[in-house]
Structure 1
Amino acid sequence: MQEIKITTTLTCYDNIEELPQDVQELMQHAVEARKNAYAPYSNFRVGAALQLENGIVVPGNNQENAAYPSGLCAERVAIFHAGAQYPGVKITQMAITATSDNHINKTPIPPCGSCRQSIAEYEMRQDSDIEIYFMGGEGKIMKSNSLKDLLPLIFDKSYL
């Protein structure tokens, strides 16, 4: 038997003002996207913003549906839009913010499992990492240098 230890390193910022200026602006796009989320069932709003290598920012927000599995998360809305509108253009950074209408979440909220798998697919597809910044409604922000830091045992096309 062999034990394998997996470790990861994330960077934690105390607030938006500590972020580099370009990331502050990207996070502000995510905050604006979050305000337009369609979340009548969960009252949990998520906004995402992608920075593309060509300078374009692509926003996304969660879109719920009464048939719950039919909704889509903010991260995937943004990623799929970028893939459809800007094929072949790399995503360099992603900002995510999430909070409840009932209380302000101050803990950084990472992408869900389905979103992690979708982000992983795009990192593999573009053969480069995507920096991921995530926060609650306010407060601390976490930075991951790559999706591999959040999902170290990625399921990818090499298994197919």
Structure 2
Amino acid sequence: MKEVKIESTLYVYDTLSELDQEVIDLMDQAVKAREKAYAPYSKFYVGAALLLDNGEVITGSNQENASYPSGLCAERTAIYYAGAKYPKAQILKMAVTAASQLNKTAEPIPPCGACRQAIAEYEVKQDEPIEIYFMGETGAVALSKSLANLLPLVFDKASL
């Protein structure tokens, strides 16, 4: 037997204003997308914005359904739309923000496991890391310079 240690590195900024203007603008797009979320059941609103290498910004918001598993998270809404509209474009950065009508979200809220897996597919496909910035409604912003920090034992095509 051998022990394998896995480490992840995140960079945490106290406020969004500590980041460069490109990221601030991207997060602003994520906030605008969050405002379009359809979340009547969970009251948990998420917005995502992707910056592509062709300069396009793609946004998505979570869309719930009374049949809970039928909804879709903001990150996957955006990433699948980007893949459908710009199949050859690479995703450079992703901004994610979440707010709740039930609780204050002042800590960084990362993508869920299903979204991490979807992001992994695109990161592996493009063979370049995707910077992921995430935050609550207010407060600190976390940066993962690659999805590999959030999902270190990725399941991808090499696993099949």
Q: TM-score, normalization: structure 1?
A: 0.99
Q: What does residue 101 of structure 1 align with?
A: 101
Q: What does residue 9 of structure 1 align with?
A: 9
Q: 1-side partners of 2:3 and 2:43: how far apart? A: 42
Q: What does residue 31 of structure 1 align with?
A: 31
Q: What does residue 45 of structure 2 align with?
A: 45
Matched, 1:73 2:73: yes
| Equivalent residue letter for 2:148 | K
The number of residues matched between the two structures is 160
Q: 2-side partners of 1:159 and 1:41: how far apart? A: 36
Task: Let me know the Cα RMSD of the aligned residues.
Answer: 0.6
Q: TM-score, normalization: structure 2?
A: 0.99
Q: Which runs of 5+ in 1 are unaligned?
A: none
| Equivalent residue letter for 2:67 | A
| Equivalent residue letter for 2:17 | E
Query: Which secondary structure state, in structure 1, belongs to the residue aligned with residue 149 of structure 2?
Result: helix
Q: 2-side partners of 1:131 and 1:96: how far apart? A: 11
Matched, 1:90 2:86: no
Query: Which secondary structure state, in structure 1, belongs to the residue aligned with residue 148 of structure 2?
Result: helix
**Equivalent pairs: percent with the same residue?**
61
Q: What does residue 136 of structure 1 align with?
A: 136
Q: 2-side partners of 1:55 and 1:101: how far apart? A: 33
| Equivalent residue letter for 1:95 | A
Q: Which runs of 5+ in 2 are unaligned?
A: none
Q: 2-side partners of 1:75 and 1:110: how far apart? A: 10
